Structure 1
């Protein structure tokens, strides 16, 4: 079987890129490819040791990589604020923010430091707060972009505005689907607000299809869900149903760097069922395009995080 040609990344010299969850999986591959294209990459991750190891891995293949390792825990609004304050204090524009980090299918309900359901709090609220707090350094760039990672699982998502944090009823996959739907709604609303306020920001979303990373096991392991781990591992090994992390990172890289991308675009694999293949325009659910839900989510996110944009 032939290996698909790698996506060509435009020259990124002189640009600063912030990637959340850059220490593994899609984030690590995105960091490597952008560093190879000349970008200064801020690798934001929760665990310093794993982040350092990831940087060493990148430097083996990209010896002249310009990397900056930073601590960021998206499950803590205090950590998000501290990280953003450090970035702003450097007085260097941020050209690209890739909201890549995430947690998936936590079997039993868990909460963030601030009491939010872990998947909604990390995948959406953490990135909402981060993007909001980084806005001054983003708008200082000539043509800033924000890329937010969603998932094919957004199709099963519904915004349960009466129970966003799943306090009344919790289902691991429905909570994940809601968080990924929230990512899309946020990306679209961010673009509308940029257009209205004149921020000059391009907001796009992407999804990796079915990609072999540690995400599939990290969530279930939080609840020691061995049956879920086994099922996911079998699925990911099935021919034609999954692709490598290198291929899975290409939609977010495409959304972050290609000139043909427009605000509000959603990029994903173009193969069967959107699971594998080269990046291109992806299908999204009607719920993801619901402007009333997007506005309602934005307002709820401001209330929950205490950040007024």
Structure 2
């Protein structure tokens, strides 16, 4: 065999390995090759009300479009009025429904969360679906809320915990109702001992073990588990989920809040282009958990690709879930 043939054979083998790697990575990050769609769910939502945090962009907006198309009154909560107004126009146009409204919500600000909940309770006689979808991937190093909490953990967990609890009585009154918490496969990266509840460290940082994305996503799953336990028999069910590796604007928030180099940013863009699903696909498990009738007995479970999935073993730690609940009540003044 000539040298040229050997080189071509090696290059072919490397190309094959690369293709297999891409296929495996897509399988891992997106819960399997087959991205299930909820078009088979024929549920109509006339007379129902859905609240979607972060409903102005990404999978939140796709969820809002689906719910509005089914006839629900859709309320999106987000912090940017301009983006919200633009999103509502898109949601109304694509869904054919005008029953879509925006209420300001800044999840990192507990006063804003309380104002949002107060407005909801004054204006809405029922809440059928609470979709805790909003989230951020990264914050400026050391960036904390006015209460002193890590920004990512505050937005991704504390804010949604507070909102859920403030709306709980109305959710119970509207039963059967559902709470859906959008988590991430990243919660499986948290190891034993990473999530801890020390009130302050030597530098005065509050709850230094409650920070950043992976831990906040584990918190979403733990919150769902404990919430399901406490809601048993109430008619309110709750689910957490991994939406898949989705090409959304959360990538831009990571770039804006870190010292990420341009080459690294484009590497991540290419990675998500190769591995990721589009936003409509990413919304399917959220929609499934909110509307699928056959899963009411699975309250508290973690889903991926519209089916129950195995999550982090730490999520099965009832003691950890209870401790997180207690600390969350302390952190939000409940």
Short-chain TM bin: 0.7 to 0.9
**Could you say if the C-alpha distance between residues 286 and 14 of structure 1 is closer, same or farther in structure 2, counting changes exceeding 3 Å?**
same
1:138 aligned to 2:171?
A: yes
Shift of 1:115: 1.8
Shift of 1:164: 8.5
1:264 aligned to 2:291?
A: no
Correspondent of 2:246 among 198, 202, 211: 211
Q: Judge conservation of contact 2:108–2:155 (CA < 8 Å) in 1.
A: yes
Q: Judge conservation of contact 2:197–2:209 (CA < 8 Å) in 1.
A: no
Q: Could you tell me which residue of structure 1 aligns to residue 236 of structure 2?
A: 201
Q: Could you tell me which residue of structure 1 aligns to residue 218 of structure 2?
A: 181
SS class of match (1:283): coil
Shift of 1:167: 3.4
Q: Could you tell me which residue of structure 1 aligns to residue 195 of structure 2?
A: 159
Q: Could you tell me which residue of structure 1 aligns to residue 285 of structure 2?
A: 251
Q: Could you tell me which residue of structure 2 aligns to residue 7 of structure 1?
A: 38
Correspondent of 2:228 among 191, 195, 198: 191
Q: Judge conservation of contact 2:243–2:282 (CA < 8 Å) in 1.
A: yes
Within 2, Cα distance between the matches of 1:107 and 1:170? 15
Aligned pairs, number: 292
Shift of 1:67: 0.5
Shift of 1:5: 7.1
Q: Judge conservation of contact 1:147–1:204 (CA < 8 Å) in 2.
A: yes
Within 2, Cα distance between the matches of 1:66 and 1:244? 25
The TM-score, its normalising length taken from structure 1, stands at 0.88
Within 2, Cα distance between the matches of 1:41 and 1:113? 30
Correspondent of 1:236 among 263, 272, 296: 272
Q: Runs of 5+ in structure 2 lacking a partner? A: 1-32
1:16 aligned to 2:49?
A: yes
Within 2, Cα distance between the matches of 1:49 and 1:113? 24
Shift of 1:4: 6.4
Within 1, Cα distance between the matches of 2:34 and 2:315? 33
Q: Judge conservation of contact 1:109–1:170 (CA < 8 Å) in 2.
A: no
Within 2, Cα distance between the matches of 1:229 and 1:137? 43
Shift of 1:107: 5.3
Within 1, Cα distance between the matches of 2:137 and 2:118? 28
**Could you say if the C-alpha distance between residues 260 and 164 of structure 1 is closer, same or farther in structure 2, counting changes exceeding 3 Å?**
farther
The 5 Å alignment of 1:1-309 reads: 6-8=37-39, 9=41, 10-106=43-139, 108-157=141-190, 158-162=194-198, 167=205, 175-195=212-232, 198-226=233-261, 228-238=264-274, 241-261=275-295, 262-269=298-305, 279-307=306-334
SS class of match (2:307): strand
Which structure has the greater CA radius of gyration?
2
Within 2, Cα distance between the matches of 1:67 and 1:82? 19
SS class of match (2:50): strand
Shift of 1:216: 2.0
Give CA-to-partner distance per residue, 1:81-133, whole Å, 9 cap, x none: 00111111124110000000000033523112322101110100000000000
Within 2, Cα distance between the matches of 1:31 and 1:226? 34
Higher helix share: 2
**Could you say if the C-alpha distance between residues 153 and 217 of structure 1 is closer, same or farther in structure 2, counting changes exceeding 3 Å?**
same
Shift of 1:171: 10
Q: CA RMSD in A?
A: 2.4
